Structure 1
Amino acid sequence: MKTVSIFSLIALCFSMGHVFAQIPAFSGAQGPGANATGGRGGDVYHVTTLDADKNGAVDGSLQYGINNAPANGRTIVFDVGGTIYLEGLTANDRLRYGKANITIAGQTAPGPGITIAGTGTKWTGDNIILRNITIRPNTNANGTTHDAFDLQLKNSIMDHVTATWYTDEGISSTDAGEMTTIQYAQINEGLNSAGHSYGSIIATEVDDTHLSYNHNLYAHNASRMPRIGSEVSSQHPLTIGANLDFTNNVIYNWSNSKAGYSGTDQPSNTNFINNYYIRGNNAGSTIFSGGDASTPLFTTNIYQSGNKYDSDRDTVRDGVTVGSSAFAGSWKSHSKFAIDGVAEPDSADVALQRVLDYSGANWQNRNPIDERIVNSVRNQTGSVINDLSGATQAAEWNTILAQRTAVSRPAGFDTDGDGMPDEWEVAHDLDPGMDDHNGDFDSDGYLNLEEYLNDIAAWPAPRAITFSAGTNNRYAQITNWDIQWQPSRFDTAVINQGTVTVDAVGQHAGNLLLATNPGDNATLDITAGWIKVEDAPHGLSDGITMIGDNPTAVAEVNLSGGRLSTKALLKGAGGTFNFTGGTLSAEIVGFDLENNGGTIAPGESPGNTHVMGDLTINSGSLQIELGGTGAGEFDQLTIDGMATLGGSLDVLLLDDFQPSLGQFFQFVTASGGIFYEFDSVQLPTLTGGNALRLVYGETIVGLEVVAGLAGDFDNDGDVDGSDFLFWQRTPSVGNLADWQANYGIGSLAASLAVPEPGSFTLFLLLCAGIALNPVRP
């Protein structure tokens, strides 16, 4: 185990406390638990063993990390992946986790992720963020039944978890639970050997609290999807029950007559909104039944809207919207309940796809068990099972047991032990040798470690995210977007009005669209840091930056600092791109590109930039990386029109690559011709006495590896006046006699430059320059 203690800066706490109160736990957090802070501002604990450690005595175990968490907060990351196993022979054998102010980041585990198997779990505590954990209890020799997740959390959120093979409920919220969200979970394939293949009991004793179950998948359970009602009996006349948001869930294949129901005369207030019910092979048909007694107590209060039911079992998702008649039994219709933090719901059809695509632990790298069950919903196959005796499930269980051997992170993954990998820290301008997990590199309220955790656990937003300037004009601030979702690599970000600034590293989009409506006027200023617009494999993501998406709108992107990386940079009739600084990395530029002080770094590193027009480099630089001779191993610039060169050419070698004699790198191709030359050239020194020589042709510019030239002090492949100036500034670079002897050698083929003066004349002029401007000591 490795624990990192951080002395929190009082100034940081005071200056950021107000921001903390307003930002969600992470992008996409919804419901009453959305603003949980978990371990923010506390220390970092590394799980280094898969020992179940029920009593919390083993340093490095998950149990030890929770039991010994400091009061001011802890974030738990995993240096190991695999199965934490404990045989739950009795009710006392379940694992119990009960501290406050904790973030448990299952998304950090390597290999198969983190699974707790053989027993159930009970979670208590206040202000908990729990993500990307899987629980698979299974049956045991004593027949003891276990919930996968028995929750009594307060002010907490559980996101992207998986529960399967439980022998009681999958994920329940009972007793002292309050103000908690369960979202994007999979609650599937409970074992019905004891008749308890159940989804969720939602029966808190905290009167009038708020709970949310949204975007969860329930598949192959007998019933209780959900079972609602306060456990404080309605015999107490002032009891009103909890307020539950049950929205955008997918319920497939239940075996009892009813998917969900309420307890007899147990008070509840529930919104059933835009859920999708699908009848499966076990032929359960009723979606909900109220449990009120015949006397007119009407303690089950329901608001229902937009729910769909696909009952024909034909594998086509063509459910129809159902009304109150689909809710059987005795209950009372009510107006919509106001529940904290609930976002505008998706339609049932959209929710169906989002739940199937993105729910469960580690959705981008789903466990094959979870993927099998999701596919059974897509294909309308599978059934409720009693145990794992079937060939498929038996083999899956054996795999879970085999994963008790841990998969560990490689040495040097996180040098300073602050929870963030070295590679990620370097990309975000952090020092991998200094613990800075409680810093805030982009001043948005999320601390550095949170930024990493949220980055690797991101999933696509339900729609394009539009800048609304709710707090200021910073792209980095989540409260500036119209939904509580900071754009990630999966999302389309839209800026329609005003000026927005990118001024910090770590900014993302899947597409970036400026001015999408007639009459819009939008400006994006990139002044520092970086924004990456990438073509991710999911969501609204094509890697396109569009300046002026609507032909009648006005839009402008000003790149003066930092870095803009995008697959395609395009502009409409009213779009303008001003390039005066910073770095542009694009695979496609769909217009004439003019560089007035920035750096062009083609594509990814290395990559290709295709300019669909002319290229003019008035100032600034072109940066070319060489990492090999094959396609995609060195930077290239392809120009449909003319290339008018100037500025600086800066050539870099990647990963210790050393070009060999005779190799040639054609890095610029311009169909309309090459005009002028670079004003200055910076070439790397090669080994073995070789050198790179710059070659200009009518339509190409390349680098040729030649035998080194004595007197070529600036390593640009020839001996000319610039070498003398270089020597004048740094005499130790070489012998001036070499320059005199080789002046003019290596002149560039097909050069368009104005001929230089003769060597003797130039030498006299330069000597005069020395006399007039002696080198300073």
Structure 2
Amino acid sequence: MARIQYCLVSFLAFGLPLVSALAFPGAVGFGSIATGGSTPFVVTSLADSGTGTFRDAVSASGRNITFAVSGYIVLQSPVSLSSGITINGQTAPSPGIGVMGREISASGKNNIIIRNFRMRQGNLDPDTGKSAFNMGTASNVILDHCSVEYGVFDGVDAVGAVNVTVSNSIIALPIGQQFGAHLETGPATWYRNLWVSAHNRQPLTKANTQYINNVVYNYQAAYTVADTGGLFSHDIIGNYFIAGPSTTSAGDDYFQMNANQKVFASGNFLDSNKDGVLNGAAANTVGSAVVLTAPWNSGSTGLATLTAQQAFTSVVASAGASPRDQVDAFVVSTVNSLGTTGAILTNQASTGLSNNGYGTL
């Protein structure tokens, strides 16, 4: 009875679907209902395909995947995930696990949990219509402490996705379209993520959205709705927008916010002067959107436990896969320059990092 009462209280307090357990302890937001998989499967090979590989691991539903190997898996073709799986990248030996060169797709699947995993597409992928991670028309998906870089079409593509959380992750350095993330349908939660050096879509969200304690650096357009005809609500709380060398208009921290949108914006800051010091000012003006006096979702206030300044410190210290590798260290170093370094790229090799810009795991 106590468990039932607890779940009922959680549902009433947070406005989220009623579930018996979270995806993992500490999971938040709409994707926290993802159930993942339970059948153990250990990845024992860094090969692209074959027995014991990552591609083998995700080929069947219901699996709880751990890693006995570390390093990059160089993909020769896209990888399609099955429904009902958990990817536990945190189990890989140091320095961790990641994929490079092709898209990871959860398109049309459901109940997927991905943690501590690196997805680095880059120009090794000849298909310019693919993204680093695609979850179009998927449902019940949570990415936590992931690192998504060098997306070609988008870093994260989630058109038609339902019940999604992306938390504590790095979405950075998209090439090609140079877009961070695109999500439609929703609802969706973007929580304590680090967005770095994208032209736009950080994210593009055509959905009812929680956007809480994120940091966006060196943008040309940050939080975007794209003048959509859809009627959506947005809780935008405690985020820090920081202009960088590629930022031509710091006032595009909120972009194409039209009167169809309802927005609760509180505690957000914008540092626009590119002077190497974190010294922003309040930034809660959201275009022509209808201004809400309270969050549209009752759980948003409970998630927004950090000020924008505290979010900067926390996100820069802990977002992304752990331990941090060369790519994430490079990303974070540009953010810590606070306006003086950073660039929007067309090729991952432009970072100057080893392994043609992918860095070495």
Check conservation: 1:50, 1:82, Cα contact below 8 A: yes
Letter in 2 for 1:262: V
Give secondary structure in 2 for the equivalent of 1:135.
Answer: strand
What do residues 471-506 of structure 1 show as CA deviations (whole Å, max 9, x unaligned)? xxxxxxxxxxxxxxxxxxxxxxxxxxxxxxxxxxxx
Q: Is 1:268 matched up with 2:227?
A: no
Give secondary structure in 1 for the equivalent of 2:58.
Answer: helix
Letter in 1 for 2:280: G
CA 1:375–1:159 in 2, change beyond 3 Å: closer, same or farther? Answer: same
Give secondary structure in 1 for the equivalent of 2:253.
Answer: strand
Q: Is 1:181 matched up with 2:165?
A: yes
Distance in 2 separating the partners of 1:160 and 1:218: 13
Q: Report deviation, 1:22.
A: 4.5
What do residues 139-168 of structure 1 show as CA deviations (whole Å, max 9, x unaligned)? 147462431111243223210000111112
CA 1:19–1:66 in 2, change beyond 3 Å: closer, same or farther? Answer: farther
Letter in 2 for 1:260: Y
Q: Is 1:337 matched up with 2:303?
A: no
Distance in 2 separating the partners of 1:49 and 1:203: 35
Alignment of 1:428-507 (within 5 A): none
Give secondary structure in 1 for the equivalent of 2:315.
Answer: helix
Check conservation: 1:227, 1:260, Cα contact below 8 A: yes
Answer 1 or 2: higher relative contact order, Cα 8 Å, separation at least 6.
Answer: 2
Letter in 2 for 1:307: N
Q: 2:255 aligns with which of 277, 284, 289?
A: 289
CA 1:376–1:395 in 2, change beyond 3 Å: closer, same or farther? Answer: same
- What is the match of residue 145 of structure 2? 160
Q: Report deviation, 1:48.
A: 1.2
- What is the match of residue 52 of structure 1? 48
Distance in 2 separating the partners of 1:144 and 1:370: 23
Distance in 1 separating the partners of 2:298 and 2:164: 11
Check conservation: 1:32, 1:180, Cα contact below 8 A: yes
Check conservation: 2:218, 2:343, Cα contact below 8 A: yes
Q: 1:219 aligns with which of 187, 192, 196?
A: 196
Q: Report deviation, 1:80.
A: 1.2
Q: Report deviation, 1:31.
A: 0.8
CA 1:391–1:372 in 2, change beyond 3 Å: closer, same or farther? Answer: closer
Q: 1:347 aligns with which of 301, 304, 307?
A: 307
Q: Report deviation, 1:395.
A: 4.5
Check conservation: 1:85, 1:117, Cα contact below 8 A: yes
Q: Is 1:375 matched up with 2:338?
A: no
Alignment of 1:101-250 (within 5 A): 102-124=85-107, 125-140=109-124, 142=126, 144-152=128-136, 153-175=138-160, 177-191=161-175, 194=176, 196-204=177-185, 209-229=186-206, 242-250=207-215
Give secondary structure in 2 for the equivalent of 1:371.
Answer: helix
Letter in 1 for 2:244: G
Q: Report deviation, 1:108.
A: 0.7
Check conservation: 1:310, 1:319, Cα contact below 8 A: yes
Alignment of 1:276-675 (within 5 A): 276-284=240-248, 285=250, 286-290=252-256, 292=258, 298-324=259-285, 327-328=286-287, 330-335=288-293, 336-338=295-297, 343-345=302-304, 346-362=306-322, 365-380=323-338, 381-390=341-350, 392-395=352-355, 397=357, 399-400=359-360
Letter in 1 for 2:331: I
How many positions carry a matched residue from both structures? 340
Q: Is 1:78 matched up with 2:67?
A: yes
Distance in 2 separating the partners of 1:158 and 1:321: 29
Give secondary structure in 2 for the equivalent of 1:343.
Answer: helix
Letter in 1 for 2:222: A
Distance in 2 separating the partners of 1:157 and 1:23: 14
**Alignment gaps of 5+ in structure 2:** 8-18
Distance in 2 separating the partners of 1:36 and 1:64: 22
RMSD of aligned C-alpha atoms? 2.5
Give secondary structure in 2 for the equivalent of 1:356.
Answer: helix
Q: Following TM superposition, where does structure 1 have runs of at least 4 consecutive aligned residues deviating by more than 6 angstroms?
A: 16-20
What do residues 565-610 of structure 1 show as CA deviations (whole Å, max 9, x unaligned)? xxxxxxxxxxxxxxxxxxxxxxxxxxxxxxxxxxxxxxxxxxxxxx
What do residues 112-145 of structure 1 show as CA deviations (whole Å, max 9, x unaligned)? 3111101121114322221011011111474624
Distance in 2 separating the partners of 1:37 and 1:19: 19
Letter in 1 for 2:328: D
What do residues 666-724 of structure 1 show as CA deviations (whole Å, max 9, x unaligned)? xxxxxxxxxxxxxxxxxxxxxxxxxxxxxxxxxxxxxxxxxxxxxxxxxxxxxxxxxxx
**Alignment gaps of 5+ in structure 1:** 1-15, 88-92, 230-241, 293-297, 404-777
What do residues 198-247 of structure 1 show as CA deviations (whole Å, max 9, x unaligned)? 1111212xxxx521001000011111112122xxxxxxxxxxxx321011
CA 1:339–1:361 in 2, change beyond 3 Å: closer, same or farther? Answer: farther
Give secondary structure in 2 for the equivalent of 1:75.
Answer: strand
Identity %: 27
CA 1:18–1:51 in 2, change beyond 3 Å: closer, same or farther? Answer: farther
Give secondary structure in 2 for the equivalent of 1:46.
Answer: strand
Distance in 1 separating the partners of 2:96 and 2:146: 11
